[in-house]
Amino acid sequence: MTAGGSHLRTSDSQPGTPATASAPAKGRAYLATIEGFIGSLMMFVGSIGTGWIANGSPMIRQPVVIALRTEGWGVTVSTFLLTLGAMLLMRSWLRLGQRLADWGSKSLRSVVIAVSAWSLPLIFCVPVFSRDVYAYTGQGRLVQEGQNPYEVGISTLNNWFALGADPAWAENRTPYGPYFLWLARGVVGLTGAQPDASVLLFRLLAGVGVLLCVIYVPKLAELHGINGARALWITVANPLFLISFIASAHNDALMVGLAVAGVYFAATRRYLLGILLVTASIGIKPITVLLLPFMGVMWAGPSASWLRKFLMWGATAGISLAVLLLSGIPYNLGMGWTWAILDTTPGYTGYSPSGFLGQQVEFLANVLGLPGGTLATWLRTGMKWTAIGLVLLLMFRGDYSRAVRRMALAFTAVVMLSPIIQPWYILWFLPFLAVTGIRDDWQIRSLYVGVTFFVVFGAQDQLSVWGFVELPIPPSSLAFVTALAFTFYLLFLDVHTRKLLIEGRPLDLARTGWQWVAERRAARRANADRTSVDQAGRG
């Protein structure tokens, strides 16, 4: 029996049984698919006016593009369509899960069709929610010109700013692995660093990662007794995944796809192939080095002694390290990628648990006259070390049949306890949680909240609007209000989606709340009356 073959029941969603108790099966999944396709088309149109276009792109000189990016009405309409499309995609994902609530034999086909339909318009849209893809072109140019991206930033290139990269990348060393730099060098060689063609090729590379997830997420889920269609719906069909990995063209898609495939092969006892695929994932982005200890656990077997476990951990690490050492020889890249693991980026994001709690500690400490900044730094550092401790605990302790689940929890701890969390970071560990079971309770509701938050955040945070355009309402404010209004609609007005988080109608909830307040007031009055009677009696 393999690490994934125990069929351990870790989810309420089992093949052939209902997975969404709050939403009975409705059928007609194609309605949700069509709705999501319309949302993706709206995002495509909106991206033309508010997405990230490189200054050196010929697209920027097209009349339609000029109108949508320089006229107030064009920017306003584009912002509204981009935001509304993203939120419509959000609703389509929720409704697809409700319509496939029985998760029968044909549900996997329905999810694959939905993913394909929703992805198609996003393949051709202007990059949205992030412009990291333009930095990939710059890093490919560095390799092409014989420079080492692990030592210099893209500012050493002539005309680097015209490629569309964020100035934050100007002096930054690349945090990516050697294989991705090979791919970036290949893309630049094919396109001559032309921005639009480069974006399309990088997006197709990301599509390979998405395809790997579509293939192997259901397979890995079935090994754990989890419904493959539901796991795929949770992982790939969710709008944050599609926007981040297709519309934004992040290389994380290829990293995640290779990692999922590698874990699947390891779970089916093809350990060497699994290790090589995970090593390829590390070669895209080094964070997946975290998976190697758990690959060693799978290789050691269910009744392995500690000696065998340490031997398998050593063999796993040795194979992976040897391959990566050889991979550093082309273009003289060496082991420069290790800095991304050893030298983490300073700072924090305010919405990460570490960043948010640190801000509160700093504020309270400053009020009390204590060194708030120092205490906040200690807290964030302590949370990082806590994550490392949890990884070691999960590595050494736990049932063999739950090796993939332990891996998922370790990955989750590292991401969630880190000071910096980008919206797409939660997609690193989500596939491994989904294939080992996300229950239809607070777990799936937490996912709804997280995905919605990051979609709303990205819609208003990453808009490319020229400063000279005169607008009655700032685009970020328009996007935020639109997303917030649609979220309110999903939570309280939509007769279908409001069941996912809140049971009952809004009026019923209000009436219940009012009754609770009235009962509390009556109880306080009764206590006050009894106190008065007691005092009178004692008098």
What's the confidence (pLDDT) of residue 56?
A: 87
Are 475 and 263 in contact by the 8 Å Cβ rule? The answer is no
131 and 252 housed in the same domain: yes
What's the confidence (pLDDT) of residue 515?
A: 59
Q: What is the pLDDT of residues 112-135, one digit of tens each?
A: 999 999 999 999 999 999 999 999
Establish if 229 belongs to a structural domain: yes
Residues of the chain with pLDDT under 50: 1-25, 504-510, 512-513, 516, 531, 533, 535-539
CA distance 245 to 448: 18
What's the confidence (pLDDT) of residue 438?
A: 96
What's the confidence (pLDDT) of residue 14?
A: 43
254 and 354 housed in the same domain: no
What's the confidence (pLDDT) of residue 502?
A: 72
Out of 393, 419, 445, pick the residue that ends a domain. Answer: 419
Q: Tell me which residue of 131, 132, 157, 163 sits closest to 142, measured CA to CA.
A: 157
CA distance 255 to 257: 6
268 and 368 housed in the same domain: no
Establish if 56 belongs to a structural domain: yes
226 and 355 housed in the same domain: no
Establish if 520 belongs to a structural domain: no
Out of 419, 443, 464, pick the residue that ends a domain. Answer: 419
Establish if 5 belongs to a structural domain: no
Establish if 512 belongs to a structural domain: no
Q: Tell me which residue range forms the domain holding 354.
A: 346-419
209 and 277 housed in the same domain: yes
Establish if 146 belongs to a structural domain: yes
Which stretches of 236-335 are DSSP H helices? Answer: 239-242, 252-267, 271-282, 292-300, 306-327
Establish if 530 belongs to a structural domain: no
CB contact set of 303 (below 8 Å; sequence gap of 6+): 400
328 and 392 housed in the same domain: no
What's the confidence (pLDDT) of residue 128?
A: 94
Structural domain count of the chain? 2
205 and 72 housed in the same domain: yes
335 and 372 housed in the same domain: no
354 and 207 housed in the same domain: no
pTM (2 decimals)? 0.89
CA distance 208 to 17: 31
Establish if 66 belongs to a structural domain: yes
170 and 281 housed in the same domain: yes
Please report, rounded to a whole number, the percentage of residues in the chain having pLDDT higher than 90: 76
Out of 399, 419, 439, pick the residue that ends a domain. Answer: 419
Q: Tell me which residue of 499, 483, 462, 528 sits closest to 101, measured CA to CA.
A: 499
374 and 459 housed in the same domain: no
Are 202 and 388 in contact by the 8 Å Cβ rule? The answer is no
What's the confidence (pLDDT) of residue 204?
A: 97
Are 452 and 487 in contact by the 8 Å Cβ rule? The answer is yes
What's the confidence (pLDDT) of residue 509?
A: 45
> Which amino acid makes up residue 62?
Q
401 and 260 housed in the same domain: no
- Pair of tokens at residue 349: 């994001």
